[in-house]
Amino acid sequence: MRRIHSLFTGSATKKPAANQNLVAYIFMTPWLIGFLVFTVGPILISLYLSFTRYDLFTSPEWTAFSNYERLFMRDSRFATSLAVTAKYVLFSVPLRLIFALMVALVLNRGIRGLSIYRAIYYLPSLLGGSIAISILWRQVFGLRGLVNQVLAIVGIEGQSWIAEPSTALYTLILLGVWQFGSPMIIFLAGLKQIPQELYEASQIDGANKPQQFFKITLPLLTPIIFFNLIMQMVGSFQAFTPSFIITGGGPIDSTLFYTLYLYQQGFVNFRMGYAASLAWVLLVIIAIFTAIAFLSSRYWVYYEDSDR
């Protein structure tokens, strides 16, 4: 847990020995170049481009805040894509974490065949991001897909789940939840680190299972829950493939993910400046959500080293 936690705190550094500076920067050269050319430079240029009209073929034309003004005042598809993405994140992330935690808790009870179950539940999250699985989903929830074939057996005539605006997004959320395997593995690793003595001691004191769960397991697991929450949230905001392949953003924009809209503006309509402003809004939104999680963490995340 401390290992994971160190991601957010960095590491303590000693005073640098002067002769090590040069050597260290030689080792760092590839990363430094990459960081400047592929990260810092593009971030700044994208901020600049977000204030311009730019079609890739003629040079950028400064338009001040008009991109942002249009985004927030006049672009209903922007609002739609934001709402769709927010709904996707708000449903798929908590559900994925709940499933991950529940299965991890069951598997952690010293069950026989742990490694087999773990492997099976992990597999979907390993394969799920691929085009192949999106193709599968497209068929499974289609009009004549697997789901409706199964429903037909019990005499229910299903609809096309991906062509119906009220259900399309839920099929994508389901695809997201289906991939709960990797947070599950992180939870399992975290559960293994909880000292067994705590349970034994509490048992002597007469604690029952639910009390043990709420007083020991859950508090000690909060750093991992926090970590999973942040990473899954950041990842889900950027989901693209399901929307692009399974539904194409439709029907009637009901699954128009934010990233798909950005792609359409930038690389279909060649409104690069507008797409850059969309990207910056996404960055700010993700930053706000992450900041809220961090600020709230002091009230619900338990840190072993209680200097916080």
Is the bond into 183 cis (omega within 30 degrees of 0)?
Answer: no
Q: With respect to another protein, which residue has the nearer C-beta, 24 or 83? A: 24
- Residue of the chain from 30, 155, 206, 210 that contacts another protein (CB under 8 A): 30
Determine, following the binding rule CB under 8 A, whether residue 91 of this chain makes contact with another protein: no
62, β-bridge pairs: 52
For position 13 contacting another protein by CB under 8 A, the verdict is: yes
Nearest-angstrom CA–CA distance, 217 and 191: 8
For the CB of residue 2, give the shortest distance to another protein in the complex, in Å.
11
User: Please, what is the minimum distance in Å from the beta carbon of residue 27 to another protein?
Assistant: 4
> Interface with another protein by CB under 8 A: which range of 82-90, 115-123, 163-171, 197-205?
115-123
Which of residues 28, 79, 201, 288 is near another protein by CB under 8 A? 28
- When asked if residue 100 is in the footprint of another protein (CB under 8 A), the reply is no
Nearer to another protein, 90 or 120 (CB): 120
- CB–CB of 193/217 below 8 Å? no
Closest distance between another protein and the C-beta of residue 49, in Å? 6
- Minimum Å gap between C-beta 121 and another protein is 6
User: Is the four-CA dihedral 128, 129, 130, 135 of positive or negative sign?
Assistant: positive
Number of residues that bind another protein (CB under 8 A): 107
- List the interface residues with another protein, window 266-305 (CB under 8 A): 266-267, 272, 275-276, 278-280, 282-283, 286, 290
b/e string for 23-36 if b means 16 or more Cβ within 10 A?
eeeeeeeeeeeeee
Residue from 82, 50, 99, 84 nearest 288 by CA: 82
Burial class of 108 by CB neighbour count within 10 A (0 to 12, 13 to 18, 19+): middle
